[in-house]
Chains A and B, each alone.
Chain A
Amino acid sequence: MNAPATAAVLDLASIPERIQSEVQRAIQRSIKGVEYIASSGPALGSTPKDILHVRGTMNLYHYRPIADEIYRVPILIVMATTNRGYILDMVPGQSFIEFLLKRGYDVYMLDWTAPRPEEKSLRMEDYVLDFIPDCVRRVQQDSGETDVTVIGYCFGGVLSLLYGSIFNDGPMKNLICFTTPIDFREMKLFQNFSDRRYFDVDRLVDSVGNVPPEMILSSFEMLRPASRTASQIQLWENIWNDEFVKSYRMFDRWATDTLPLAGEYFRAITKDLMWDNKLFNGTMSVGGRVADITKIKVPILHAVAEHDHIVPYDAAKHLIQKVGSADKQEVMLKGGHVSLVAGANAIKRLWPKLDSWLGERST
């Protein structure tokens, strides 16, 4: 008997076993499907923390240290203004925050809640010249240290770059950016959605005040319009698998927990960044202060994802080239915009890389 014929026989022999397995899974799907609807999913963002300060949309947390001995320089994480910070603190064992604490870092986070209707007038300068400096001051006060490492995720990275370029004489000691765009021309679909010939940002902001989260979420989902349906099919297929369901629920909850954006801030993002590409062109100013990223001289690490559909590599690749730092590094890792920082890929790839880079710059 030749080899292909043997394989066919083996396949035939395995059919009853596979039918049994599929029937069991079908039963499990029905049971687990009911459980899925009836339960609320895992608790997220549960690493113990203290709220140091709350002011409107701005929240500053301090995570309680775990290690017996910590690095001298504290970390301030600046979260993207469109999403919640618990993406970096999902559940024990899958939490970037927990990882940092275990590796001996003192961690603070600037997280955002939905801006209130009266906060529609918050401008870019409120974020860059007020919120971030205020949090840095509070981190200095709370930790007793002058130096602070800043980590910015996605648009939090853009805000951190603007902050670092304006306050380039300190106190930021190191800067780490995750998937941070600077060339907004290369965000092709967002460019087209906000084409100045057809997109009347003034009319939108003047009509709605804060830009509603549904609109932000839709624009993200439109980048991959089939993916939500496909992921729901995948969920149904794997609903018998508790680990898959837990992971699906965590990421789905976070992805749909989008925040509204303050109207004036959104207007500035659209005009200055999407339309005029000022950060890339070196013509950006915030509250009348020049924000030129070539003025950033501190050690900088930029982590980008190979398959990032939100911030394509072409939009992020010039960051390292443009900053004025002598000690600078870009690291490209497998994964997408979210899996770069959270999930199995991040645990294996990004987190250890970041630890080895940051540890020696945190003493």
Chain B
Amino acid sequence: MADKSNDPVAIWQNMIGEMEKGFNSFANRAMESPEFSKAMNQVGGVTAGAQKQLGELMEKYLVSMNLPSRAQMVSMAERLQSIEGQLNEIKALLHQVNSNSAPGGGYPAAPRPPRTRRPPSTGGEQK
């Protein structure tokens, strides 16, 4: 095996690793300062406000262009999700009806393994 200390690939990889650690550590120290929090939240606050205003402006523009807005697309997606949800409800109900009509009347519908397993420490078998 080649000596790692002479291996340029290993040296490069080690250097990247060290640079990553060093930069993360430096950045973390900088981000712990109250000044960082203040600056970050000022930018964040402005961005959130600007995003809201831009969204409202775009909404008006899309209405004038007779195009669906994101909100309308989201609403359509919601209706699809709602249909999916109702299908799942129907599936769960069918599952329940099927299990109720099975001999014995209760869960589970499909045969399930017996709940008799014991841990190996008490003499149970690990299958």
Is A331 close to B, CB under 8 A? Answer: no
B114 engages A69 (CB within 8 Å)? yes
Known contacts A195-B41, A360-B119, A360-B122; is-contact A70 B34 (Cβ 8 Å): no
Contact pick for A225, options B27, B119, B124, CB 8 Å: B27
A53 engages B20 (CB within 8 Å)? no
Is A282 close to B, CB under 8 A? Answer: no
A67 engages B118 (CB within 8 Å)? no
| Residue tally, chain A, CB below 8 Å to B | 60
Chain A-chain B contacts (Cβ-Cβ < 8 Å), number: 149
Contact pick for B49, options A51, A199, A207, CB 8 Å: A207
Q: Cβ of B24: which chain A residues have Cβ within 8 Å of it?
A: 224-227
B85 engages A55 (CB within 8 Å)? yes
Known contacts A195-B34, A208-B48; is-contact A69 B127 (Cβ 8 Å): yes
**Residue of B at shortest CB range from A203?**
B45
What does DSSP make chain A's interface, helix, strand, loop or mixed? mixed
Is A103 close to B, CB under 8 A? Answer: yes
Q: Cβ of B16: which chain A residues have Cβ within 8 Å of it?
A: 230, 233-234
User: Which residues of chain A have a CB within 8 Å of any CB of chain B?
Assistant: 7, 11, 14, 18, 22, 50-56, 65, 67-72, 103-104, 106, 116-118, 141-145, 188-189, 192-193, 195, 197-200, 203-204, 207-208, 215, 222-227, 229-230, 233-234, 237, 356, 359-360, 362-363
Q: Cβ of A199: which chain B residues have Cβ within 8 Å of it?
A: 37, 41, 44
Minimum CB–CB distance from B69 to chain A (whole Å) comes to: 12
Minimum CB–CB distance from A9 to chain B (whole Å) comes to: 12
Contact pick for A53, options B88, B112, B119, CB 8 Å: B88
A142 engages B48 (CB within 8 Å)? no
A70 engages B113 (CB within 8 Å)? yes
Task: Enumerate 21 A-B pairs (CB-CB under 8 Å) in ascending A order.
Answer: A7-B3, A11-B6, A51-B91, A53-B88, A53-B92, A54-B89, A65-B113, A69-B117, A70-B112, A70-B114, A72-B116, A104-B127, A106-B112, A192-B34, A195-B41, A198-B40, A199-B37, A207-B48, A208-B48, A215-B44, A234-B13
